[in-house]
Amino acid sequence: MHSNFLKTFIFSFICLGLSFSSSAQERNKERIREKVKLEKVAYITQELDLTEDEAQKFWPIYNAYKEESAATRASMDIRPKRDMTDKEAEDMLYAMLESKSKEIDIQKKYIGKMKSAIPVRKIAMLFKVEREFREKLVSNVKERRKNRMDK
């Protein structure tokens, strides 16, 4: 009886420790995501040279755009598999095209909304600025990994 209690206690303690570790990792990932999001806001605001008034109008629209885009991508489970049939491959290809079409529709919708917040020339620069931010982010991650491996 005492042995079972001890085993249960140790098992529970280990599970609790793992959940705290997992929870800490999740909090760290969330903190990193939030930091990247703040850096992205600062970068886009600076690169588009948004005024305070433009920024106040633009960011809610942009955030809604990103949320809708992410939800659309998440709803499309498009992952090729080596062992898929020709029919599955064809269905996947058409699903990919449908997903891209939906993304374009979302972009058109939000470009229209953004025009009420910022000049069209700034909207035209937005996609370039986003791409530059992603490239800088990837470059920074690669540099950090390289530096860790060199130590």
Three-state secondary structure readout of the chain: CHHHHHHHHHHHHHHHHHHHHHHHHHHHHHHHHHHHHHHHHHHHHHHCCCCHHHHHHHHHHHHHHHHHHHHHHHHCCCCCCCCCCHHHHHHHHHHHHHHHHHHHHHHHHHHHHHCCCCCHHHHHHHHHHHHHHHHHHHHHHHHHHHHHHHC
Give me the number of domains the chain comprises: 2
Domain that holds residue 23: 1-47
Quick one: 109 and 143 in the same domain?
A: yes
Quick one: 97 and 74 in the same domain?
A: yes
Quick one: 92 and 132 in the same domain?
A: yes
Quick one: 57 and 41 in the same domain?
A: no
* Residue-wise pLDDT tens digits, 53-92: 999 999 999 999 999 999 988 877 677 788 889 998 898 8
Quick one: 38 and 78 in the same domain?
A: no
What's the pTM value of the predicted model, to 2 decimals? Answer: 0.73
Quick one: 70 and 32 in the same domain?
A: no
Spell out, as residue ranges, where the chain has pLDDT lower than 50.
none
